[in-house]
Amino acid sequence: MAKGKNFLLGIYKDEDVLVGAVSKVRVAGVRIHEVYTPFPVHGLDEALGYKPSNLPIVAFIFGLTGTICALCLTILTMGYDWPMVIGGKPFIPLPNFIPVTFELTVLLASLGMVGTFFVISGLKPWGRPFMFDPRSTDDCHVMAIDLDRNKLSKEEISQLLTESGASEVNSKIVE
Amino acid sequence: MQVTSPVRPPLVTGGKTVSDVTVDICKQVEGKPTKSWMVAFTISVITLAFGSYCLFWTWWEGIGVWGLNKTVGWAWDITNFVWWVGIGHAGTLISAILLLFRQKWRTSINRAAEAMTIFAVLCAASFILAHMGRPWLAFWAIPLPNTFGSLWVNFNSPLVWDVFAISTYLTVSLVFWYVGLIPDFATIRERATGIRRAIYGALSLGWDGSAKSWSRYEAVSLVLAGLSTPLVLSVHTIVSMDFATSVIPGWHTTIFPPYFVAGAIFSGFAMVLTLMLITRVVFKLQDYITINHIESMNKIIVLTGSIVGIAYITELFMAWYSGVYYEQYALFYNRAFGGDYLWAYWAMMTCNVISPQLFWFKKVRTSIYWTFILSIIVNIGMWFERFVIIVTSLSRDFLPSSWAYFSPTIYDVGDYVFSFGLFFTLFLLFTKYFPVVNMAEVKSVLKSSSKQQTK
């Protein structure tokens, strides 16, 4: 039987206590595996040392692709492939192409960004996440600490979690 | 440090805890359908069936079954289309613009408003398809390589802009709504067993609520809101250009884009109120959708209603000031002070400009009954607005010998009934099987909403 990974779970009821606890635990030199919360907690990513997401840049790149595609589509079809005189307008009336260009920019930016979000976060219909504690989708915040990747002993980390305001400290072995 | 305002009223009343939010919102998803839901659903399905019959005959026989004539070539079809698209706008406005403005009161109502958007846009699309007469050729509006030679769509045409605008709007709204639903599906998944767990598990896409995912989720929400805000404004602007870029007196108006957008928000908020007032009673959500929410929405209604009122007056002023005879005829003699549709014009004025002014009184805007009545009046008024613009302008064109009066047939009415059946059937299915209030977002504002909530 393969040996499982040992985790220690600090359960927090209050989001402000959680953010304080994350900072405290990290200052003590403990590496946090991940924190699971039922709702977005502001300041948690800074406390965990996460960098701001690059997804806005992804959206910009996809948006730019949309702009270029739309301009190519409108200019090439109406200006070169089959130019027709419509209402005496020039073959490439750029202002008239702006609505379509704008819509395609927004469409590609949105779909591209959300698609990237799904891919990098591993979100898929057949995804079955491992939940340390199902209460983390209800009313509890769960701080998971991988004991094998920390120098401090289980007792020391457990005490640290309790001192930082955890309402429960549980251990869990993950196969 | 958590900053709380002692002045602001709580966003969620009843001293709810985080756990209470889960229980209250999941209750209708997990329980059996209530009797009132069953009654409403049955009525909606019957309405949908009757409407589908009329729509089927419209498609089978062609749009000759409508009351259109050679002068009035657009009537209820485009009126309904513009009306439904407008209704959709409040959903995006609540989710996107209020998110950017950090208006936390949006959290209780954004989910249902977004759902309303999607269903309203679907209803609008049904009229676009129906008014084509040959809906199986709808793909002609999409720029596809074809066998007619290199014949492409006309990108100069606002009708083609509409195709792009409406389809983008539907797609982006759907994505925005779904991304918001993912964490709540995960909550339901963790509480469910068996087949329900499998279904909600698939819908939740394996969401685990990790801090990393939330960080990305928030970035996605913010950018989507930033993209949706100009999108929602562009959609109704483009819809208004269907008219404004033509040469018909009464349509050829530069004020149309902002005027249509304000009207859309106005009617959209009215529909959100109508639906939310019913939903909060049926699903006992009075603690989540409070009088404060209703009052805030009523304030937006009085603002947008006044903007619409100014737009009506500006139209009259510009007709006079421009000195264009045809414009003056269309606006004064055929719309405001004469013509066959005088009744429709003044119905519109009464419903849209005069009646919302009652919301200046705090007693009226905090009253459930007044809000419900006025929200329906506003929706009727906005339908008349679209009708007045379209039908009065067309009914008396440049050639008096071709002037005609439009009377709807049973199929005009039936197709409109179809859209109501479709809308309410989808909305009722949504309220039963999806969490009607955004649990994750409500939980995040529960504590900071007021001092009373801090325990």
pLDDT tens-place string over residues A67-123: 999 999 999 999 988 888 888 889 999 999 999 999 999 999 999 999 999 999 999
Query: In this structure, how many other beta carbons lie within 10 angstroms of the beta carbon of residue B160?
Result: 21
CA distances from B408 to B77, B317, B415 (A): 10, 32, 11
The interface residues of chain B toward chain A in range 131-150, judged by CB-CB distance below 8 A, are 143, 149-150
Chain A contact present for B172, CB below 8 A: yes
| Mean pLDDT per 10-residue segment, chain B (455 residues) | 63 78 86 88 95 93 91 92 90 81 80 91 92 88 81 89 93 93 92 90 91 92 91 92 90 90 91 89 84 89 93 93 92 90 94 93 92 94 94 90 92 94 94 90 75 47
Q: Which residues of A touch B453 (CB under 8 A)?
A: none
Which element (helix H / strand E) includes A9?
Answer: strand A5-12
Q: What pTM was computed for the model? A: 0.92
pLDDT tens, position by position, A130-175: 888 888 888 889 998 888 888 888 888 888 888 888 888 888 888 7
* Chain B residue closest in CA terms to A109: B227
Which H or E run contains A5? strand A5-12
Please identify among residues 332-391 of chain B the ones whose CB lies closer than 8 Å to any CB of chain A: none
- Estimate the crossing angle of helix B110-131 against helix B256-282, to 10 degrees: 120
| HSE toward the beta carbon, residue B93, CA cutoff 13 A | 25
H or E element in which residue A35 lies: strand A34-36
CB-closest option in B164, B206, B234 to A128: B206
By Cβ distance, the residue of A16, A106, A121 closest to B231 is: A106
pLDDT at A69: 96
Q: How far apart are CA B114 and CA B427, in angstroms?
A: 11
**Token pair for B319:** 């007709």
Q: Helices then strands (H, E): number in chain A?
A: 5, 4
3-state secondary structure of B210: strand
Sheet holding A168-174, edge to edge: A34-36, A141-146, A5-12, A168-174
Q: In terms of Cα–Cα distance, which of A77, A160, A51, A40 is closest to B179?
A: A40
Contact between residue A59 and residue B227 where contact means Cβ atoms under 8 Å apart: yes
Of B90, B114, B116, the closest CA to residue B177 belongs to: B114
Measured in angstroms, the CA of A45 and the nearest CA of chain B are apart by: 7
